[in-house]
Amino acid sequence: NAGVTQTPKFQVLKTGQSMTLQCAQDMNHNSMYWYRQDPGMGLRLIYYSASEGTTDKGEVPNGYNVSRLNKREFSLRLESAAPSQTSVYFCASTLGPVSDTQYFGPGTRLTVL
Amino acid sequence: DAKTTQPNSMESNEEEPVHLPCNHSTISGTDYIHWYRQLPSQGPEYVIHGLTSNVNNRMASLAIAEDRKSSTLILHRATLRDAAVYYCILRREYGNKLVFGAGTILRVKS
């Protein structure tokens, strides 16, 4: 099992450009999450999907959109990137919405110039 | 969500036990205490969780105060690989979100 995979690992964007961060899990998990982590801080939830076909806003959703493409994949889109979105982005998944353990991907380091 | 308070950093010697404290004075009866850790340049990983009783697993032990207003993560023999940021998180019984604080940076000296 690869667990939770994320692509790309690194990305540099110019202000105003758009991009999509990809996340996939092979554990047959129902729930998936997107977090961002700014330097020296803990993770903050952007969006989550409790099950296929549903998505909900987290703590910091502004400037982002998500798509739960199927049970395996959950993408995060930045329509018009801003320097304030420079961060490390982590995807996570759990078996169900009340499961005990979240499994995290390795992260995508995004820099917006 | 109830908040947790952890020391910013702690230091330990290799092969010695480490006790990482966490205060959560506003914890509610349905809040589970979770611990995750984040090694450098990696995503967080689950360590342990509990509700009222002390818990043990292959990675660590979790000691929960009788009034549940504090808890302690215990690493029985710290290794250099245990150097990481440790997060103490409260999660509601039917809550699916983890709210991360700044955590405790654990440094392990050889």
**Residue predicted with more confidence, A96 or B51:** B51
CA–CA dist B93, B29 (Å, integer)? 9
* Distance (Å) of CA B56 to CA B10, B50, B52, B66: 22, 9, 13, 17
Order of strands across the sheet that contains B55-56: B18-23, B70-75, B61-64, B55-56
Min distance B16 CA to chain A CA atoms (Å): 27
Which of the four pLDDT bands, split at 50, 70 and 90, describes residue A39? confident
**Residue predicted with more confidence, A2 or A61:** A61
DSSP string, A25-84: ESS--SEEEEEEE-TTS-EEEEEEESSTT--EE-S--TT-EEEE-SSSBEEEEESS--GG
* B42, B46, B102 ranked by CB distance to A42: nearest: B102
Interface size A-B, in CB pairs within 8 Å, comes to 53
Per-residue pLDDT at B2 exceeds 80? no
Average pLDDT over residues A70-80: 96
Which of the four pLDDT bands, split at 50, 70 and 90, describes residue A50? confident
**B94–A98: do the CB atoms touch at under 8 Å?**
yes
CA–CA dist B89, A12 (Å, integer)? 32
| pLDDT at residue A42 in the model | 87
Q: Both tokens of residue A24? A: 């996939």
Per-residue pLDDT at B24 exceeds 90? yes
Residues A76/A89, Cβ–Cβ less than 8 Å: yes
Percent of chain B whose predicted confidence (pLDDT) is above 70: 95
- The secondary element (H helix, E strand) that includes residue B80 is none
Q: Which residues in chain A touch residue B43, judged by CB atoms under 8 angstroms apart?
A: 4, 90, 92, 104-107
Helix (H, G, I), strand (E, B) or coil at B28: coil
| pLDDT at residue B94 in the model | 58
Residues A109/A10, Cβ–Cβ less than 8 Å: yes
pLDDT tens column, A10-37: 999 999 999 999 999 999 999 999 999 9
Q: Which residues in chain B touch residue A50, judged by CB atoms under 8 angstroms apart?
A: 96
Find, in chain A, the residue whose alpha carbon is nearest to that of B101.
A42
Residue type, A43: L
**B45–A40: do the CB atoms touch at under 8 Å?**
no
- Closest to A29 (Cα-Cα) out of A78, A73, A84, A81: A73
| pLDDT at residue B93 in the model | 61
Q: CB within 8 A of B108, min separation 6: which ones?
A: B11, B12, B13, B14, B18, B78, B79, B80, B82, B83
| pLDDT at residue B103 in the model | 93
pLDDT tens column, B80-105: 999 999 999 988 765 667 888 889 99
- Closest to B74 (Cα-Cα) out of B82, A1, B66: B82
Per-residue pLDDT at A101 exceeds 80? yes
CA–CA dist B7, B10 (Å, integer)? 7
Which of the four pLDDT bands, split at 50, 70 and 90, describes residue A97? low
